[in-house]
Structure formats: C-alpha cells, structure tokens
Amino acid sequence: MMRFLLILFTITHFIIFSIGCKKSADIPSDSGKRVSDLNVPENFSWKTSREVAFEVDIRDQRYLSATYVIGIYTADGRLLSKGAAQNGGTFKTTVSLANTINEIIIIKTNPDNSNDYKKVTIKDLKVAVTLPENQKSSVASVSSDRPDCSIGCTRTVEITENNQSVHIAEDETVCVRGSNKTFRADFSFRRGGVLRICGTNLTLNSLGWAITDKVKELIITPGSTVHLDGISFGHEGNRFTKFTNYGDITVKGGALLNYHNYGNIVYQGDFQVEGIVTNDGSITVNGNVSGGTLLNNGSVTSTGNFSVGNLINNCKLIVGGNSHLGFNSTNSGYIQVKKETRVSSLTMNTNAMLYTRDLILEAPITGLGGPSLVKVTGVTQSNSDFAVISGPINICDMNGLEQLRTDKLLNGAKSSCDINIPLTGCNSEGNGTFQFSDRDGDRISDNLDDFPDDGGKAFINTYPAGLNTENTLLFEDMWPYKGDFDMNDVVIGFSYKIITNSLNKVVECEGNYRLRARGGIFSNGFGVEFPMLASTVVSCEGGIVEQGQKNAVVLVFEDMHKELPQMNTRLSDPYVQPKSFKVRLRLENGPDLYNFGLSEYNPFIYNYRLGGRSEVHMIGKKPTSLVNEGLLGTGDDYTNLKWHVFYISKDALPFAIMLPVNDFKYPLEGKDIGLTYMKLKYWVQMSQTFSDWYKDYPGYINKENLYPY
C-alpha cells in the first residue's frame, strides 16, 4: 500500500488533472431555473455517472503460476476496484464512475510487491489495457493527447530549402513539415505562439525569442526526428516558455528549461538541468548531468558524472562516472553508479535499489515503506556523525563494511545481502529470490490477500471509492405524477462492500444505507435489486430477500415514517439523526465482478397507495417483476416496457437521481433543486457543462434554500 501511495503522490504532484468544472471567476451570476421549466434535450439521461468496463490483460511470466493483483485507482489515490489475474489472463471489472472522473491509474502488483502501472484517460465506456512483462514504469507516457500536424494548426509550413525562416505570429500554432533540411524560427514580440515540428532529420539551428508574458511553446511530435543545434530555450526573459518532446531528438549545445520528455533525447555533450525537467521517455547523455530538478519516470543514462539539486527517480538512472545525490533525492526505482556515489540526502522507497562501486555518506539515507537495498561493490565510507542509514534498508557491501559502524544502522536498517528486489522494466539487476507464501492456497500471495487465511475470500471492493464515504439517492414520491422537485421526499446515503474470491467471483455483498430525510407524505419503503439471481443468495442479514422475484431484490425497510420520527426537511421541526441500516448477503455460485459491477445497482422506493405496488426508480432502471404494470405510463410517466423506456416523465424529467457526493445538502421542503443548485440548468441544457453542479463551489448554490443539517 505504501508503494501505491508513493506512486500516486508523484503522479498527482507533477500532473495537473482536469476536473471538468469552471473556476469561480468564470461562473456567471444567476438564480437558477425551476426543474419543471427546463428545456431538456432529447436523450438527456440525468445520470451523474456512467458504467465503465475495464479489461486488464496480463502478459508477465516472471512469477510462473503466481497470481497478480490489479487495482484501479482515481488520480488522487482512491481505490475503485481490485481483483486478480494470472499470466495470459484478464482482470475484468465494471465501475460506476462520476462524470467528473476522466483519468484513472491501473496498478499491477506482483507477488513480491513490485508494481507496473499505467495512467489512462477515460474516453469510452470500455477501457482495455495490457500490462506486459518488464513494462517500463512510466505513467504519463501512455496518456496524453499526442499532437500532430494534421489538426489544430493555424498554418502549415513546408521546409523546402536549408536555412529557411519560419515566423510564428501572435497566438498562432504553426506546424512545420519536411525532411533533411535546416531552418530557423522566430516568435512575435510580446506574444505567445506554438511551433510544432513534424518531420524527419530536420535541424532547428536558431530560435529567435522576444520577451513575452505569454506562453511560447515548442512541440516535437511523435515519429519526428529533430536536431536542436545550439538552441537556448527558456532563458530569463522567456521563463513562461514550454517545450514538450514526443519524438526522437538530438541536442547539441544551448540550454533547455522546464521541459517534458515523452520520447527519446540524446545529448551530444553535457546536460544542464534548468528548472524542472520531467522525463517519461529516454534521455541519453554523452557527458555530465548537473543542475536543477529532475523527475525521472523513464530512463536516464549518462556517460559522465551526475549531480542535480533535486532528484525524484521512479524508474532507471545509470551513471557512468561519479554521482552526487543532493539534498532532496528520492529513489523509488533503480540507480546504478559505475564509480563513486556521494550522498547528501537520500530517501529510499519500497523495492528501490542503489547499486554503486563506492558509497560515501555525508548525510542520512532514510528508508520508507517496505524494504529497499543499497548494494556496494567497493568501499563504504562515512564522513559525518549524521551519516546514518535508517529504516527498512539492507546495505549489502560485497566485501564487508569498511568504514561504516553498525551503530550507524538505525530503525531496522541492517548489513545484509539477503533481500529480494524484483526484476522490473526499470531494474534489470534485481537481487535475491522471491519466496512465495500462500497460507490459504488460493494462489494469492499472503501479502496481497485481504483474507490470507480464508481460501474462499480474497479481495474487498468498495463503492463509492474510498473509506467512510457514501453516495446519495434522491427521490420524488408523487409518481406517476411529477412532484415539486425539492428532491427530498426520500434521501438515502449508501455505500457497498463487495467481497470477491481469487477468481473475481462475488461471494459477499454488504450494503450500508442511511435514511436522512423523508419529506414525502406517503409510507414509502426502500429496496434494491441486485444483478444476480435470487437463488444465489444463501443468507441475508438485516433485510428481506423478496419472494417471487427472479433477481435478488432486497427490501431494506417498509415504511419510512416508522423508521425516522421527523422529516428532516423543515426548519420548524426538530432534526433527528439519520437511521442506519446494514444488509449482508452471502452468495453461492455468485456472479463475476465484471457482470455484478460496482455501482448503486437498482435502488427504488415503493408504496401501495394506488392499488398494487408503485415503484420509483432512476431513469433507465427497470421496475421489479412485482410492480403494478397497470400504473406504468400513466399520469406524467412515460415508461414503456416494450420500448425499454423507464421512469422518465413525458417532458423528460426524472423521478429519482443518484449523486456521487458524500453528505449531499438537499433542499428545504418545497424548494426546487434547480433554484437551489443554480448550475443544474447549464448541465441539463448545455451539453454536460457544469457536470459538477452538485458540488459546493463558489457561485453554485443558493444556500438559503438548503436544509442545513
């Protein structure tokens, strides 16, 4: 788990994720609009989330018949789903994702706690990825809108002769094509612009910059081969400039500041790290490396010496000469130094490895998380009383510790070569042999098994993602007629814990529900239909599995008035704490996680006031087989079983919605939700703009209409 957190911290610290909402400065001031007055576009679903299917193929023969654990995470580190697959197999799962979530991270954990991972942009309702053996542990290299010269160009210039000049006017995106030619580029005075290079064997030998307070951007596109000859990019007068490489480039002379590399860069000489350089590809330096901050998620190799002020190494760093690991160095991958390593400060994370000829300690090496390794083939030397090794670090000096006393090994650090550091795409050296432990015989390594002593259980999945959180269900109970759209007739918070076995089959389902408000006037009950046969349920605690249903329909309570003594919707009434319910289902021959999914399933409220059973579901959710079908499609309801249209009014309004937010603040009695959450109208009427309308952002809510508890 510590390894997961370190990976996710690095990603979120250096990548700014889009959250699909506007900044407060861009939010218009308005008073909202009544739901009944909305002009709802055709086929608008009223869904605040969507079902996304994941298929993760495993191609990794390193651990023979062992099983790999796959976790799918949000960008901020919340676990969405977890399961297992062996080499040649596929982990499949389905997760209900909020419409505001557009990026996820997939982590494959090997039996020895090493990881492979990918960042994925969610563009469709199905995500299929492959995590191969010895995959390079680079995150951003698999994502990114990778620009080319086919779209988005204001102007395209073909380089047809040597020393041709290209001018980038203010706010232009100029795309350059050609091959085997040299050219120069000039940007307009005090204006920004973008230069994209799409070509082969092109040489950019002059870059004319003017002082500007706007971004000027240079992009080398995928598949391009470019030579930068004496280019100085991002000097003091141009500190707002941006350089991104997706192709193959060679650099001779000049200086490049604050850039991001997704491709391959070869320096014909020294590499001076200016500002912050992020590498998600490969950098080869025929010389020395020195300077500012280097975030390495890929491979960096230098023939000379290495010394930067700040190093974050998440993959592979090879140094042909001496290395100085400065005052803010962190290693989560593999560092090899052919000669001497001098340490001013170094943090080693789980399974990290430093392999060097000589080690000179001037300050501490600190281990975090799980075990890591410092391997020395020559001399280990301490130059300071502060030069200690602390934490779960093994120091392996092949010929014994010469000048480092054992009292300098603190808090679990030890002198030993007996440790397994796995082979990965970042670490081709490794150390030791992994000892597989599986006490319950389910082929899940004990260290990755949530139930290491129970062969029938392996993993815990939660919905929504994260501990101690829930989503919110809002119902209007006047169906088949429209209500007042205060959406507080029944307000229920809910969460699920789904337990699967090593084959990703659901063996247990626990639902937790909180009845928060009952603003409706009818004696409504609450139930949930689950996507599995009723015959698979062998026991049910805390609820009733309804007889006469093909699928498992669980009734949680029968009359909200008997469960909650106050409405919790009016300021004139006392407030009472929500009523909590817990339902636990144990299954036999249950569905796989892919088909069962992680979502709200099919929740509904019901009553018998109109003769037979009335049910209120969310748009698109089918009624149960015990509903009074004669009520469907009457009043304002447009339900049609034959056409597969369910629970939407004739003017395309909902009777129930689900919101992916914890402790949603619902409106007071009689206060229209559209006049309370003022951006809801934009979400409905303007192609999903303000898809986060239900959040407490500046300018989003008329708080005078909110029930305050």
- Specify whether 269 is located in the same domain as 246: no
**62 found inside a domain:** no
pLDDT of residue 241: 73
Quick one: 394 and 319 in the same domain?
Answer: yes
Asked if the structure places residue 225 within a domain, the reply is yes
Q: Which residue among 421, 444, 476 closes a domain?
A: 421
Percent of the chain at pLDDT > 70 equals 90
Q: Which of 421, 438, 472 is the last residue of a domain?
A: 421
Range from 62-76, 97-111, 257-271, 631-645 carrying the lowest mean pLDDT: 62-76
pLDDT tens, position by position, 580-605:
999 999 999 999 999 999 999 999 99
Looking at the fold, whether 635 and 614 belong to one and the same domain comes out as yes
Is residue 100 included in any domain, yes or no?
Answer: no
User: Do residues 169 and 275 both lie within one domain?
Assistant: no
Mark whether 324 and 241 lie in a shared domain.
no
Any idea what DSSP says for residue 594?
H
Within-domain flag for 59: no
Confidence of residue 210 (pLDDT cuts 50, 70, 90): low
Task: Report the mean per-residue pLDDT for the chain.
Answer: 88
Rounded mean pLDDT of 317-338?
A: 94
CA gap 184, 470 in Å, rounded = 57
Judge whether 571 lies within some domain.
Answer: yes
- The band of 236, judged by pLDDT with boundaries at 50, 70 and 90, is very low
pLDDT band at 14 (very low <50, low <70, confident <90, very high): very low
Residue 31 resides in a domain: no
* Highest mean pLDDT (candidates 186-200, 324-338, 527-541): 527-541
User: Is there a single domain that holds both residue 170 and residue 199?
Assistant: yes
Q: Of 582, 632, 623, 631, whose CA–CA distance to 603 is shortest? A: 623
Contact 637, 616 (CB under 8 A): no
Per-residue pLDDT at 61: 73
Tens-place pLDDT, residues 123-151: 999 999 998 644 444 333 334 467 888 88
Residues 599 and 653 both lie in one domain: yes
Residue 228 predicted with pLDDT over 90: yes
Give the per-residue pLDDT at 4: 44
User: Does pLDDT of 344 surpass 70?
Assistant: yes
Q: Are residues 471 and 348 in the same domain?
A: no
Q: State how many domains the chain has.
A: 3
Cα distances (angstroms) measured from residue 554 to each of 413, 475, 509, 632: 53, 18, 12, 22
Asked if 303 and 229 sit in the same domain, the reply is no
Task: Check pLDDT > 50 for residue 27.
Answer: no
Residues near 247 by Cβ (< 8 Å), separated by ≥ 6?
197, 220, 221, 222, 223, 224, 225, 226, 263, 264
Mean pLDDT, residues 450-460: 97
pLDDT tens digit string along 465-487? 977 899 999 999 999 999 999 99
pLDDT at 21: 39
Q: What is the per-residue burial (b if ≥16 Cβ within 10 Å, else e) of 147-162?
A: bbbeeebeeebebeee
Closest CA to 565 of 556, 575, 580, 550: 575
Q: Average the pLDDT over 432-456 and give the result.
A: 90
CA proximity to 425, closest of 139, 121, 144, 1: 139
Residue 451 lies in a domain: no
Residues 550, 514 share a domain? yes
pLDDT at res. 96? 97
Q: Which of 67-81, 225-239, 644-658 is predicted with the least confidence, judged by mean pLDDT?
A: 225-239
In a domain, 166, yes or no: yes
Instruction: Give yes or no: residues 294 and 250 share one domain.
Output: no
Residue range(s) defining the domain that contains residue 227: 154-261
Q: Is the pLDDT of residue 404 over 90?
A: no
Residues 236 and 302 grouped into a single domain: no
